[in-house]
Amino acid sequence: METPEQLRDILLKEAADADTLDALEALRVSALGKKGRITDLMKGLGQMDPDARKAAGQALNALKDEVAAAIDAKKTTLADADLDRRLMTEKIDVTLPSSPQADGYVHPISQTIDEIIAIFGEMGFTVAEGPDIEDDWHNFTALNIPPDHPARQEHDTFYLPGEHGERKVLRTHTSPTQIRTMTAHKPPIRIVVPGRTYRSDYDATHSPMFHQIEGLVIDKTSHMGHLKGCLIEFCRAFFEVDDLPVRFRPSYFPFTEPSAEVDIGCTREGGGLRIGHGDDWLEILGSGMVNPNVLRNCGIDPEEYQGFAFGMGIERVAMLKYGIPDLRTFYESDLRWLRHYGFRSLEVPGMVGGLVR
Ligand code: DAH
C-alpha cells in the first residue's frame, strides 16, 4: 500500500489529468468513496497505538480535504470550459423567422376582436379598457339609467358586496368605459372598448359571460351622418361584402338620443342564413348620439361637444361571420371545436378587406 504522501501525489496528478466531468467523478469515488483509497488508509488507523493514530489521523484528514478541494476546483474549471465551448459552437440566429407551430389556435373570440379593432383602427380609433367589476354609477347611473329605471331590471345583473354598503356589479355591458374615458380625458375622443360582460342568462344564444365591443366618438362636429357612415363602413369591411345593405332602425337606449339599431341584409332561403342581399334583416348592434345627460355626468358641456356611441356583441357577429351555431360552444374548450373554428396564429387580419382564411 502507498504511503499517504505517495497517495497524495498520485491523486493530485489524477485530478489534474482528468479531462471530463465523468472522469473526475470516477476519481472522487475511487479516492473518497466508501471503498476508496483514502478511506482504506483510514481503516488502518484502528491498528495503531493512540499517539501514532492521532498524528496519522490528522495527516489523513488533511489529505482528504486537499484531494476533495482539488477535485472541486478541477470540476469548476471543466464546467467553465464546457460552457465556453458551448457558447462558441451553439449559436442562435435571432433574426430567423419563427417556424409556424403545428398546434395551437387563436380562439374565434380573440380573432373577431382583432378583426374589429383592425377595421376601427383604420378609421383612427384607439383601444380603451375598463374593469370587469364596476360600480352602480359607471354601469348605470352615469349612463342615464337611474335606480328606478326599468332598464336596470332588464340587465339580469350579478351583484357583489362592496365597501361601506355600496354594492358592486359585474358590468352588464362595455358602456361604463364610455364614462371612465370621458371622465379621465378631454375630447376629442375616438375609442373602441373590447371586453368581457356579464348577465345572469344561459341558453343557445346567451351565456353568463360574453363579450362586447363599445365605440365612442366625442368632438365638436360629429353628427348622425358620421355615425351612419362609420357603421356602414364597418359592417361592409367586417362581413367582407362591399355593397352589404345596412339599415338604421329607430330604437331606445337611455344613454343615446336619438338611438338606432343597426340591421344588415340577409336571406334565409332553404333553412340556411346568407349575409348580403336578400329579403330579410338581421340586427347586429345598437347605436345613437350620446345623450347630453351622459356628457354632463362626465363634466363635458353638451353645448360644446357631441358625438356618437355604439355597442355590439362579439359572439353574435362571430357566430354570423363564421357560421357557429351555438354560443355555449365558445367556452367548452373542446379541442375538436377549436381546431375546426380556430385560426392559425399567423393569420393576422388584413387591415383592408377583412381576413383571408
Ligand atoms: N350597452 C348596450 C347593451 O349592452 C349596447 C349599446 C347600445 C351600446 C347603444 C351603445 C349604444 O354604446 O349607443 O345592450
Residue 356 has pLDDT above 80, yes or no: no
Range among 8-22, 91-105, 143-157 rated most confident: 8-22
30 with 136, same domain: the answer is: no
Boundary of a domain, candidates 89, 115, 136: 89
Task: Give the pLDDT mean for 121-131.
Answer: 96
Range with the poorest average pLDDT among 8-17, 115-124, 142-151: 142-151
55 with 188, same domain: the answer is: no
* Ligand 1 lined by 173 (C-beta under 6 Å): yes
Give the number of domains in the chain. 2
Q: Which residues pair with 168 in a beta bridge?
A: 135, 160
Mean pLDDT for the chain?
91
The C-alpha cell that represents 99 in the structure block = 417556424
Query: 230: number of CA atoms within 13 Å, CB side?
Result: 27
171 with 235, same domain: the answer is: yes
Boundary of a domain, candidates 38, 62, 89: 89
Residue 352 has pLDDT above 50, yes or no: no
Residue 350 has pLDDT above 70, yes or no: no
Most distant CA atoms of the chain, gap in Å: 114
Residue among 192, 214, 251 whose CB has most ligand 1 atoms within 8 A, to mutate = 214
113 with 84, same domain: the answer is: no
Task: Answer whether residue 100 is part of any domain.
Answer: no
Where in the sequence is the domain holding 276, given as residue range(s)?
105-347
Boundary of a domain, candidates 60, 89, 118: 89
CA distance 275 to 284: 12
Sign of the Cα torsion 312, 313, 314, 319 reads negative
Cα first-last separation, the chain: 80
Residue among 140, 253, 306 whose CB has most ligand 1 atoms within 8 A, to mutate = 253
59 with 113, same domain: the answer is: no
CA distance 84 to 96: 24
93 Cβ contact list (under 8 Å, min separation 6) = none
109 with 231, same domain: the answer is: yes
pLDDT band (50, 70, 90) for residue 349: low
pLDDT > 90: percent of the chain: 70
Q: Given this model, what pLDDT does residue 102 score? A: 59
80 with 180, same domain: the answer is: no
Q: Cα of 352 to ligand 1 centre, how many Å?
A: 26
Q: Given this model, what pLDDT does residue 100 score? A: 64
Q: Cα of 357 to ligand 1 centre, how many Å?
A: 30
81 with 147, same domain: the answer is: no
Region for 354 from its dihedrals, namely left if φ exceeds 0, alpha if ψ lies in -120 to 50, beta otherwise: left
Task: Answer whether residue 305 is part of any domain.
Answer: yes
57 with 196, same domain: the answer is: no
203 with 163, same domain: the answer is: yes
Residue 355 has pLDDT above 70, yes or no: no
Task: Answer whether residue 352 is part of any domain.
Answer: no
pLDDT band (50, 70, 90) for residue 354: very low
Q: Tell me the pLDDT tens digit for each residue of 133-162.
A: 999 999 999 999 988 887 777 778 999 988
Residue among 154, 173, 262, 308 whose CB has most ligand 1 atoms within 8 A, to mutate = 173
* Ligand 1 lined by 157 (C-beta under 6 Å): no
120 with 34, same domain: the answer is: no
